[in-house]
Amino acid sequence: MSSNTETIFLDKVLLELVICPITKSKLLYNNKSNELISEKAGLAFPIINGIPILIIEEARSIKIENSK
C-alpha cells in the first residue's frame, strides 16, 4: 500500500548542521508537517524526498505564538 504523502525522517546529524539561510539560527524539525521551522524568520522550509529545501522562495510563512 502506498500513500500520497511520504514522511522522510531526517538524520539527526544533518539536522544539527542545517541552519536558516536568513537568520543563521538552528532549524526545528516538525515531523507532523515534515518541515524545518525557523522561528526567528517565521518560515517553514519543506523537506522533499528527504532533502531540505532551504530556498527562501519555497518556504511558507508561519505564525509563531509567543508564550509570554
Task: Determine the Cα–Cα distance for residues 40 and 56; give it in Å rounded to an integer.
Answer: 14
pTM: 0.78
Quick: pLDDT tens for 42-62: 999 999 988 899 999 999 999
The x, y and z cell numbers of residue 52, run together, are 531540505
**Where does 12-61 sit in CATH, by number?**
2.20.25.10
Each domain of the chain, given as residue ranges in start order, spans: 12-61
Backbone φ and ψ for 27, nearest 5 degrees, come out as -105, 145
Question: Quick one: cell of 68?
Answer: 509570554
What's the pLDDT tens digit per position in 13-49? 888 889 999 999 999 999 899 999 999 999 999 999 8
Burial (Cβ within 10 Å: 0-12, 13-18, ≥19) of residue 42: middle
